[in-house]
Structure 1
Amino acid sequence: MKRTYIRSLVVVGILLLITGAGIAVKGGTAQADTPVVVDNHVDPALSQSQLVQTAPVSQPLDISVGLQMRNKGEFDSLLKAIYDPASSSYHHYLTPDQFNQEFAPTDDQVQQVETYLQGLGMAVKNVAPDNLLLNVGATVEQAQQAFNVQINTYRRGRETYYANSSPIKVPSRIRSLVMAVTGLDSRIKLHHHYQNAKLTPKLDPVGYGPRDISNAYDIGPLQSAGFLGDRQTIALLELDGYQPSDIVSYMQYFNPVSLGSTVSSVASTLTPALALSNLTNVLVDNYSGAAGQGAEEVSLDIEMIDAIAPHANTLVYEGPNTMQGMNDTYARIVNDNKAQIVSISWGLCEQSTGNAEMQLLDNLFRQGVAQGMSFFAAAGDNGAYDCGDTNLAVDYPASDPYVTSVGGTSLQLNVNGTIKSESVWSDTSNAGFTSTYGNGSGGGLSSNFSMPSWQRGPGVQNGYSNGKREVPDVSANADNNYGYAIYCTVLAANCLSTGWNTIAGTSSGAPLWAASTALINQYIQAQGKRPLGQMNPVLYGLFNGPRAYPPFHDITSGTNLYYSATANYDLASGMGSPDVFNIARDLARQ
Structure 2
Amino acid sequence: MHKVKTRKYALVSIFGVLLIMLMGCSGGGDTTAKPTPTTPDVKYVDYDLKIPAEALNSPEVGPLPGDTKLHVLVTFKANQDELKKLKDLKQKSDQNIDLSQEANKIGITDAQYAKIKSYLGVDGVNLKLDTTHTSMTIDSKASLLETLLQTTFVKHKLKDGRVFFAPKTAPKIPDFMKDRIVAITGLDNYSKPPTSKATFKQLEQTSFKSSSNANDPTCEVNDPRVVNWKQVAHAYGLDSLWQQGFTGKGMVINLVELEGFDKTSVQKYFNCVGYKGNLKVINVDNEPNPKDAVGESLLDIEMIAGLAPDIDINVYQGVDEYGTGSWETFNNILSQIANDNAKKHAPSMVSISWGSGEQELYEEVFNSMSAKMQMLTEAEHMTVFAASGDCGAFQSMEWNKLDVNYPSSDPYATAVGGTLLKTDAQGNRVGETVWQDATDKTKCNNAWGSGGGLSTNFNQPAFTAVPGMQNKYSDKHRQVPDIAAVATNLPIYQDGGWYISGGTSAATPIWATALSLINQAMISKAKVYGYSTDLFYEIAAGKQDPSGPSYFDVTQGDNNYYPATQGWDYSTGLGAPNARNFYLTFAGLVAENP
Residue matched to 1:552: 551
Q: Where does the alignment leave 5 or more consecutive residues of structure 2 unmatched?
A: 1-36, 209-220, 320-324, 590-594
- Specify whether residues 423 and 135 from structure 1 end up closer, same or farther in structure 2 by C-alpha distance, changes over 3 A only: same
TM-aligned CA deviation for residue 471 of structure 1: 0.8
Q: Is the 8 A contact 2:417 2:451 kept in 1?
A: yes
Q: Do 2:44 and 2:172's aligned partners in 1 also have CA atoms closer than 8 Å?
A: no
> 1:413, 1:419 within 8 Å by CA — same for their partners in 2?
yes
Residue 443 of structure 2 corresponds to 433
Q: 1:349 aligns with which of 342, 350, 357?
A: 357
Contact preservation (8 Å) 2:419, 2:434: yes
Q: Percent identity?
A: 27
CA shift at 1:531, angstroms? 2.1
Task: Give the number of the structure whose residues are more often helix, by fraction.
Answer: 1
1:59-458 counterparts in 2 under 5 A? Answer: 60-72=68-80, 74-79=81-86, 81-83=88-90, 94-110=97-113, 123-143=125-145, 146=149, 151-157=154-160, 159-163=162-166, 170-183=173-186, 184-185=188-189, 188-197=192-201, 204=208, 205=221, 206=223, 207-255=226-274, 278-285=278-285, 287-320=286-319, 321-337=325-341, 338=344, 340-369=348-377, 370-389=379-398, 390-434=400-444, 439-458=448-467
TM-score where L is the length of structure 1: 0.80
Q: Deviations over 1:257-301 (max 9, x none)?
A: 5xxxxxxxxxxxxxxxxx5x511111222x335313335111111
1:42-53 equivalences in 2 (<5 Å): 42=52, 46=55, 51-53=59-61
Change (3 A) 1:561 1:90: same
Summarize the Cα distance change of 1:387–1:165 in structure 2 as closer, same or farther, 3 Å threshold: farther
Q: How much has 1:313 moved relative to structure 2? A: 1.1
**Unaligned 5+ runs, structure 1:** 1-25, 258-274, 490-497
2:30 is the counterpart of 1:33: no
> In the TM superposition, what is the alpha-carbon distance from 1:551 to its structure 2 partner?
0.6
User: How many residues matched?
Assistant: 523
How far 1:398 moved relative to its partner? 1.0
- Displacement, 1:179? 2.0
Query: How far apart are the structure 2 equivalents of 1:222 and 1:249?
Result: 25
Deviation at 1:77, TM superposition (A): 3.2
Deviation at 1:151, TM superposition (A): 3.3
TM-superposed deviation, 1:31:
5.7
Aligned to 1:18: none
SS of match in other structure, 1:134: strand
Q: Are residue 485 (structure 1) and residue 482 (structure 2) matched?
A: no
Correspondence for 1:56: 64
Moved more, 557-566 or 184-193: 184-193
Q: 1:155/1:139 Cα in 2 relative to 1: closer, same or farther (>3 Å)?
A: farther
8 Å CA contact 2:93–2:529 kept in 1: the answer is: no
The alpha-carbon distance between structure 1 residues 182 and 292, as it changes in their structure 2 partners (threshold 3 A), is farther
Q: Quick check: which has more Rg, 1 or 2?
A: 1
Q: State the secondary structure of the residue aligned to 1:343.
A: strand
Aligned 8 A contact 1:242 1:298 in 2: yes
- Aligned 8 A contact 1:400 1:449 in 2: yes
User: Which TM-score applies when normalising by structure 2?
Assistant: 0.80
Q: Is the 8 A contact 1:95 1:371 kept in 2?
A: no
Deviation digits for residues 399-426 of structure 1 (CA, Å, limit 9, x no counterpart): 1222211011122222332223211112
Paired with 2:118 and 2:440, the residues of 1 have a C-alpha distance of 51
Alignment partner of 1:531: what SS? coil
Question: Quick one: structure 1 residues 334 and 127, their matched pair in 2 at CA, closer, same or farther if it must change by over 3 Å?
Answer: same
- After superposition, the C-alpha distances for 1:425-449 in whole angstroms (9 at most, x for unaligned) are 12123433346x9621111112222
The one-letter code sitting in structure 1 at the alignment partner of 2:422 is Q
Aligned-pair CA distance for 1:61: 4.1
CA distance in 2 between counterparts of 1:166 and 1:222 reads: 58
SS of 1:97's partner is helix
Question: Which letter maps to 2:539?
Answer: L
Residues 500 and 278 of structure 1: CA distance in aligned 2, closer, same or farther (over 3 Å)? same
Paired with 1:43 and 1:180, the residues of 2 have a C-alpha distance of: 19
Distance (whole Å) between structure 1 residues aligned to residue 392 and residue 150 of structure 2: 36
For residues 464 and 150 of structure 2, what CA distance do their matches in structure 1 show? 38
For residues 229 and 293 of structure 2, the distance between their equivalents in structure 1, rounded to whole angstroms, comes to: 23
1:501 to 488, 499, 502: 499
